[in-house]
Amino acid sequence: MREILIYGLERGETRRYTESLLSTQCQSAEDIEKVKAAASAQGWHSFRIAYYNGEPPNFAAAIAI
């Protein structure tokens, strides 16, 4: 099963490498919007949605020339 990951930046933060994982529990686009709305109300911004299907990353392919 594909897992939906939602990341965001805290209020006042602009550096992407500081983003935090906000949720792994979403099952639908509606769930994603609910998490984003609740997080926005607390100052979080610049959300990023990622999908994970359980496969390990292929780092060798990422740096292959």
pLDDT at 49: 97
0.75 exceeded by pTM = yes
Q: Cα–Cα distance between 61 and 40 in angstroms, integer?
A: 36
pLDDT at residue 65, as a whole number:
62
Beta bridge partners of 52: 3
pLDDT digit string, tens, across residues 8-44: 999 999 999 999 999 999 999 999 999 999 999 999 9
CA-CA distance, 47 to 51, in Å (whole number)? Answer: 13
Q: What is the pLDDT of residue 63?
A: 85
